[in-house]
């Protein structure tokens, strides 16, 4: 039987300018057309888009202008053999979203957030995808007493229902993250995301997108988070990357901090036959600040190469020997087997 190849995707923000909270940009902005060229060159088929990546300045446009621009973007992508994976409403950069969108204390801001999310559904439909990614970035608090967590769950649910109501085919993948930019986020883990999905108007249309680093920031194992979502039939996207413990969100190259952890994630994806679902392998990785502009796509090439090497490692894993170790409850022998295999022995 032929093995379904993996499909890879990338977002324009992964070709960043190298700015961090302590210093300005060090590389010129990569023009959108060049992002697409780089994606093609690196063998990525899917483009992940924020609503305003797909339709710049969308807040200044009418509804029909937004749809027309999104349709034009679809043409631009398909001319290059690319396809839009998802659209994510970028609520966290707009002044109305300063206190969060769906859970803002100001009712006018909450209304804005829902309206903007519905526009993201229109953009997604015009781009030919049903998938909306919801990263609830500022849906949380820096001062715990500033919001009511019971009300916040209800407000997020209301937003989910509004998005689902915007189009009968719209599907949402919630991308949880425990902190950054807020201190405590209301949707920190896959368990929270799935529980919200189960309570919405149409649970069949809500799933999750798991980012490795976000799980690590929550003190969890990304491969177990993936396994939990797979068991529920809800793993609709991944943002593979790496994270060196509990720090700022590093978006390191996949496998760069914990190669065994990366192997374990690929192991779950392989066991789930993820490639056959048609869902994408996305990388949410940042180029290092020291990287020169002409080499600032290497982090993507390396992440993809590491992923494919790890697929081979999973496929060539000595399963029978592992089963014998497990049967004998000799977990030290299993540990050795895994490490030797990863070391190439
Ligand atoms: C932040 C993220 C985001 C989301 C993206 C898609 C900027 O930690 O991971 O990347 O992935 O906005 O929703
Ligand atoms: Mg991400």
Model confidence over 59-97: pLDDT tens digits?
Answer: 999 999 999 999 999 999 999 999 999 999 999 999 999
Question: What are the tens digits of pLDDT across the range 307-325?
Answer: 999 999 999 999 999 999 9
Quick one: pLDDT at residue 88?
98
DSSP per-residue string spanning 205-252: GEEEEEEHHHHHHTT--HHHHHHHHHHTT-EEEEEE-B--SSSS---B
Quick: pLDDT tens for 205-235: 999 999 999 999 999 999 999 999 999 999 9
Q: Are 61 and 68 in contact (CB under 8 A)?
A: no
Share of the chain above pLDDT 70, in %: 99
CA 68 from chain center: how many Å? Answer: 26
Contact 178/220 with Cβ under 8 angstroms?
no
Rounded mean pLDDT, 251-270: 98
Q: What is the pLDDT of residue 3?
A: 87
Proximal ligand: closest to the CA of 249: 1
Cα–Cα distance list, 266 to 112, 152, 181, 226, 261 (Å): 39, 34, 28, 10, 9
Among the listed residues 312, 271, 345, 329, the one whose alpha carbon sits nearest the alpha carbon of residue 337: 345
Q: Sketch the domain layout of the chain as residue ranges.
A: 8-317
249 pLDDT tier (thresholds 50, 70, 90):
very high
pLDDT exceeds 80 at position 304:
yes
Provide the pLDDT confidence category of residue 198 given band limits of 50, 70 and 90. Answer: very high
What average pLDDT does the chain have?
A: 97
Please check the confidence at residue 345 and state whether its pLDDT lies above 80. Answer: no
Strands 184-185 and 140-141: antiparallel
Please tell me if the CB atom of residue 92 comes closer than 6 angstroms to any atom of ligand 1.
Answer: no
Residues forming the active site: 50, 53
Does the reported pTM lie above 0.95?
A: yes
pLDDT computed for residue 246 by the predictor: 94
Note the ligand closest to the C-alpha atom of 48: 1
Q: Is the pLDDT of residue 5 over 80?
A: yes
Atom in ligand 1 nearest the alpha carbon of residue 90: 12
Q: What is the pLDDT of residues 89-125, one digit of tens each?
A: 999 999 999 999 999 999 999 999 999 999 999 999 9
Ligand 1 site, residue 88, Cβ cutoff 6 A: yes
Domain at 8-317: CATH architecture: Alpha-Beta Barrel (3.20)
Element at 197 (helix H, strand E): helix 190-199
Q: pLDDT category, 292, cuts 50, 70, 90?
A: very high
pLDDT in tens, 26-44: 999 999 999 999 999 999 9
Spell out which residues have Cβ within 5 A of ligand 2, the ion.
Answer: 211, 239, 284
């Amino acid at each position: 039987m032929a093995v379904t190849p993996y499909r890879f995707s990338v977002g324009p923000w992964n070709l960043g300018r190298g700015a961090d909270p302590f210093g300005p940009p060090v590389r010129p902005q990569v023009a959108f057309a060049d992002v697409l060229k780089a994606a093609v060159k690196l063998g990525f088929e899917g483009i992940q888009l924020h609503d305003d990546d797909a339709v710049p300045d969308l807040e200044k446009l009418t509804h029909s202008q937004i749809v027309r621009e999104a349709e034009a973007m679809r043409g631009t992508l398909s001319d290059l053999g690319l396809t839009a994976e998802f659209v994510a409403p970028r609520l966290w950069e707009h002044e109305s979203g300063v206190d969060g969108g769906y859970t803002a204390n100001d009712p006018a801001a909450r209304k804005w957030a829902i309206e903007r999310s519905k526009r993201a559904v229109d953009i997604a439909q015009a781009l030919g995808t049903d998938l909306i990614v919801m990263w609830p970035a500022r849906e949380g608090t820096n001062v715990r007493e500033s919001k009511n967590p019971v009300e916040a769950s209800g407000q997020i649910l209301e937003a989910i229902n509004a998005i689902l109501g915007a189009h009968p085919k719209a599907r949402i993948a919630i991308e949880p993250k425990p902190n950054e930019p807020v201190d405590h986020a209301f949707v920190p883990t896959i368990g929270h995301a799935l529980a919200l999905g189960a309570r919405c108007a149409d649970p069949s249309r809500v799933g999750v997108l798991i980012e490795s680093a976000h799980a690590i920031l929550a003190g969890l194992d990304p491969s177990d988070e993936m396994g939990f979502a797979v068991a529920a039939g809800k793993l609709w996207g991944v943002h593979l990357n790496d994270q060196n413990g509990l720090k700022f969100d590093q978006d390191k190259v996949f496998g760069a901090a914990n190669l065994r952890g990366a192997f374990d994630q690929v192991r779950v994806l392989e066991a789930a036959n993820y490639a056959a679902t048609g869902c994408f392998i996305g990388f949410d990785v940042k180029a290092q600040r020291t990287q020169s502009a002409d080499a600032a796509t290497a982090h993507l090439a390396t992440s993809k190469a590491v992923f494919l090497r790890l697929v081979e490692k999973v496929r060539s894993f000595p399963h029978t020997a592992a089963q014998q170790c497990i049967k004998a409850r000799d977990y030290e022998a299993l540990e050795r087997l895994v490490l030797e295999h990863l070391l190439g022995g």
